[in-house]
Structure 1
C-alpha cells in the first residue's frame, strides 16, 4: 500500500505534531506500507521542492504568493490552492493508493480535490479543531466569522472524506455531533514514545 501524507509541517521542525506524524509513519512502514510525505506552504520558506530530514524524504510546497496571499481570509484560500497544485504534482509522481490528510482543514480540502480528480480515497486525521485552537491562542473569537468559516470547512471535509481518524473520544464526540456516521470515525490515540521527548 502506498500512502501519501499531507502535512501542515514536519521535520526538521520539532513539535508534538511532527512527533505524532513520525510515530504514524514508523508504524505504517512496520506494516510494510510505503509512505510519502508532502508539507503545505506553512512549513515555511525552505526554498526547495524536496528535502531530506532525519532520514525521511519530504516533498515541499512553496509558499503562497500574490495579492491573495496577503489578504485576511483570502490568504487561506491561497494556501489551499497552492497545496492542491503541488499535491496533484506529487500524486502524479508517487501514485498513492490513499491520501492521508492531517489536520488542519487546509490540508483536507486539497486532498479532497485531488482525491476526487484522481479517484484516490481520502483519510482525514483530526488532531484538534483549529477553530478552537485559534480561540485558545487568542487569534480568533468563539463563534466569530473566522471561527464559523473554519468550523464550516472542517465539517464539510469530515462529510466528504472516506474515513476519519482522531486522537481521542472527546474529538470523536464532537465529530459525531456534526452528523458524521460513527462507523466512519476511528480513534487512534497518540503514539509518541515518551523517550523521544526527553
Structure 2
C-alpha cells in the first residue's frame, strides 16, 4: 500500500470518527479489495468505496517510464470518470467533493463539482512533474513535464480551496500565485493504536539474515524509489565497513530503484553487509523493525524532497525506533534533531558517514530515544489532530455556496473523497 493510499484511508476513517459521513470514489485505475466489486460498492471500515475499476488501463502507480501513448490513453478515461463522480455525488447528495493529486482525480472532482454547483477541494500531495524527473521519466522543461504541470495547475485554479500536506508545498503554491487564504495545510499523521512499538530483536531472524549477534543494523522498510537516495546509505556502508565490521544495512521492500541498488551493492563489494528482502506480509514486518537499531532516511535535497513530507518517519517513530535522516526540507518539517530523531547535513560528502559513527557510539541510549520519539508523535502527530481542521473547512465551503445560491444549507453527506 502506497503512502497516498494510507493517507486517504486514515483521513476518511478519522473523519467518520469525528462525526461526518465520508464516502470514497476510486479511479478506474484503482483495483478493489474484493475483485467481485470492480464496479460496485465496497465497505471498508464502515466506509463506502464506490468502484469503477477498468482493467484495460495501466494500473501501475508511479512507473516513470510509461510510454506517451499509455499516458494519453489513461487521460482519455477522464470524461467517463467525471460522469461517474457526478452520478455518485448526485445520488448520495454530497455537500463537498475533496479530490487529491494526481491531477486525474483532482480534475474529475472539480469538473463534477462545478457542473453540480457544489464546492470542491484539491489536495496537493506532491509535484508529479518533479517526481517524474527524479525517477527518470521526464526531464525538467520537457513536453511531459510541462503537460503534467499544466494539468495540475488547472485543477488548482478550478478548485474552491486547496489542501497541501506540507508547509513547503504551501509556499510553492503561493509562489505560483495561489492566494494564501485559499490554502490549508493538513499534515500527515500516524495511528499509534495500530503502529505499535517494535518487538525485541528476533535471534532466529538475525541468524537467517546472517547478521552477527553484535550487529549494528541500519534499516529501511518501504517502497524503493530513486528519490529515497538509498545508494547514499550503501556508499556509507562501503566506507565504514573496514572499520566497523559489525555494521549492516537491511533494506526491506520493492520498487523501481531496487535493481540499481542491488547493482550498486555488488559493485561496491558490500553484498554481505547489505541485505535486500522483498516486500513482506504486514503481519511479519514487525520482526524486521525489531532487528533495526536505527532507521536511515538519506533523501538528497532537491525540489521534490524539500517540498514533500513523507509518512515514513512518523510510522518509524510510532514503532519506537530512532531515525537518522538527511536534512532535506521535508524531513525538517517532521524531525526535530535530538528530540524525535537525528538529522545530518546531506550536503556534506561525509555527512551520513559521520552521523552513523556518532549514533553508533550512543547505542545504549537508542532504545530510550525511540520510546521518546513514540511519545512525541502520539502527542503531536495523531491523525485526529491532523484531520480535525477539515470539518470546519467543509462546513464553511458548503455555507458559502449555499449563500451564493440563496438556498439554506442542509447538512447531508459532508464529504466525498475522490481517490
TM range (shorter): 0.7 to 0.9
- Structure showing the higher strand proportion among its residues: 1
Name the counterpart of 1:59. Answer: 50
Distance between the aligned counterparts of 2:45 and 2:177, measured in 1?
40
Distance between the aligned counterparts of 2:136 and 2:43, measured in 1?
34
Gaps of 5+ in 2: 58-67, 196-314, 320-419
Identify which range, 156-165 or 17-26, moves more after superposition.
Answer: 17-26
- What's the CA shift for 1:23? 2.0
Deviation track 1:58-108 (CA, whole Å, cap 9, x = no partner) reads 101232859xxx934431322312311211121122111000001111011
Q: In the alignment, is residue 35 of structure 1 matched against residue 22 of structure 2?
A: yes
Q: In the alignment, is residue 122 of structure 1 matched against residue 113 of structure 2?
A: no
Counterpart pick for 1:136 among 131, 134, 139: 134
Are the aligned partners of 2:13 and 2:45 in contact in 1 as well (CA < 8 Å)?
no
User: Which of the two has higher C-alpha Rg?
Assistant: 2
- What's the CA shift for 1:193? 2.5
Name the counterpart of 2:335. Answer: none
Are the aligned partners of 1:125 and 1:164 in contact in 2 as well (CA < 8 Å)?
yes
Distance between the aligned counterparts of 2:148 and 2:94, measured in 1?
28
Distance between the aligned counterparts of 1:48 and 1:76, measured in 2?
18
Distance between the aligned counterparts of 1:37 and 1:144, measured in 2?
34
Name the counterpart of 1:50. Answer: 41
Gaps of 5+ in 1: 1-13
Q: 1:169 to 1:55 in 2, by over 3 A?
A: same
SS at 2:77's partner residue?
helix
Name the counterpart of 2:164. Answer: 166
Q: 1:31 to 1:174 in 2, by over 3 A?
A: same
Counterpart pick for 1:91 among 69, 89, 92: 89
Name the counterpart of 1:15. Answer: 2
Q: 1:65 to 1:168 in 2, by over 3 A?
A: same
Distance between the aligned counterparts of 1:50 and 1:145, measured in 2?
38
SS at 1:41's partner residue?
coil
Are the aligned partners of 1:64 and 1:79 in contact in 2 as well (CA < 8 Å)?
no
Are the aligned partners of 1:39 and 1:58 in contact in 2 as well (CA < 8 Å)?
yes
Q: In the alignment, is residue 71 of structure 1 matched against residue 66 of structure 2?
A: no
SS at 1:43's partner residue?
coil
Are the aligned partners of 1:176 and 1:182 in contact in 2 as well (CA < 8 Å)?
yes
- What's the CA shift for 1:151? 0.4
Distance between the aligned counterparts of 1:55 and 1:27, measured in 2?
12
Q: 1:55 to 1:31 in 2, by over 3 A?
A: closer
Name the counterpart of 2:179. Answer: 181
- The alignment covers a number of residue pairs equal to 182
In the TM superposition, structure 1's runs of 4+ consecutive aligned residues that sit over 6 Å from their partners are: none
Q: 1:175 to 1:166 in 2, by over 3 A?
A: same
| RMSD over equivalenced CA pairs, Å | 2.2
Name the counterpart of 2:240. Answer: none
